[in-house]
Amino acid sequence: MSPTGTPLFEPVTIGDLTLKNRIVMAPLTRSRSSDAGIPPEFAAEYYAQRATAGLIISEATNISAQARGYALTPGIWTAEQVEAWQHVTRAVHANGGIMFLQLWHTGRISHPDLHDGALPVAPSAIAPKGQAFTNSGLKDHVTPRALETDEIPAIVADYAHAAQCAKDAGFDGVEIHSANNYLLDQFIRDSTNKRTDRYGGSLENRLRFPLEVVAAVTKVWGGGHRVGLRLSPGTTMPGETPLDSNPMATYGAYVAELAKSNLLYIHDIEGITQLSRAPDGIDYMAFRKAFTGAYIANNNYTRELAESTIAEGKADLISFGRPFIANPDLVDRLRTGAPLADAPKPYWYGGNANGYSNWPGMNGPIALKS
């Protein structure tokens, strides 16, 4: 038992992985990659500094050129990208860490500037609110192009290819990004999916594409024991509400199907990222009880809330996002009750190593093994 009286800081086994603690570094988009989707050399140091987390989940990583929705985000579909990620995974492993890569397709949350003038793709031609981050700044989202039925298997194949590339890059597993109104979530929700083919209409049809992706990715990894999935039943991103007419029924059915896939975990955003926790009408514990694998809880957790959540059996692991930006030694700070540094928002996205891999620990620079 940990000094705080909870197992938060003690080792835990999920699937065939033994994690050094129950603290997860959540995916954090930082926009430091090249236009070719290649993460910078200093990304290896950034992730290795945070290897004291029980599990690191990479920033969201595009599965293909079509998947891009933000400038300067990394990819995992070319040999050059794989080679760059190999430097990251080697550094994390040298420092005792375990790291998964998050597989991402943004769908309609994109802009033609990121696709040589072509429209972003989506289940239906419905424009999202908000703006896209392009190389020339923020631009209003546009009405996307609805995917043709015969285009969808190629995207499933892109997920499988990216999953294999992640394996080749040395990751310990992958997380499928099925949250925050990106492509998979767009197919699931009845406000963004107005299709009349086998991928739209009924709930069974709306779940078909995401479940085909899960099947393809788990096949690459030899089963679901190294595959997780992130979901966000309560989100209103990108600023629309409601995104689904019956989220409990929709996501209850989704989680029940995911349980059959023997996934390692589901990673649940409980509420709306950066805004609120657990909005009315969403019973997150129902999803936890329905799923057979591990449950990672996320969104505005403090140490105290994390400890009580673990102690009460409401989650197996807790993921922290923004606190990891300015606190590479977040696990030790949480364990000892040390104060947390706060990263100003201008450091969150874009730039170089400054405000990224040069944050000190509470006792000075983080010493890394090479």
- Residues that are catalytic: 182
Do residues 126 and 159 touch, judged by C-beta distance below 8 A? Answer: no
What Cα–Cα distance (Å) separates residue 206 from each residue in 72, 89, 107, 265?
A: 31, 35, 15, 22
Which of these, 294, 344, 350, 349, lies nearest to 319 by C-alpha position? 294
Do residues 126 and 144 touch, judged by C-beta distance below 8 A? Answer: yes
In this structure, what are the phi and psi dihedrals at residue 281, rounded to the nearest 5 degrees? 95, -5
Do residues 21 and 331 touch, judged by C-beta distance below 8 A? Answer: yes
What are the residues whose beta carbons fall under 8 Å from the beta carbon of 266, sequence distance 6 or more? 228, 229, 230, 231, 255, 258, 287, 291, 293, 294, 295, 296
Hey, what amino acid is at 244? Answer: D
- DSSP secondary structure code for residue 7 in this structure: G
Hey, what amino acid is at 100? Answer: F
Do residues 242 and 190 touch, judged by C-beta distance below 8 A? Answer: no
Q: In whole angstroms, what is the distance from residue 172 CA to residue 91 CA? A: 13
Do residues 113 and 135 touch, judged by C-beta distance below 8 A? Answer: yes
In Å, how far from its chain's centre is CA 173?
A: 13
Beta bridge partners of 15: none
Do residues 225 and 262 touch, judged by C-beta distance below 8 A? Answer: yes
Site of tokens 């963004």: 192
Q: What is the 3-state secondary structure (H, E, C) of 42-63?
A: CHHHHHHHCCCCCEEEEEEEEC
- DSSP secondary structure code for residue 240 in this structure: -
Return the axis-axis angle of helices 79-94 and 152-168, rounded to nearest 10°: 40
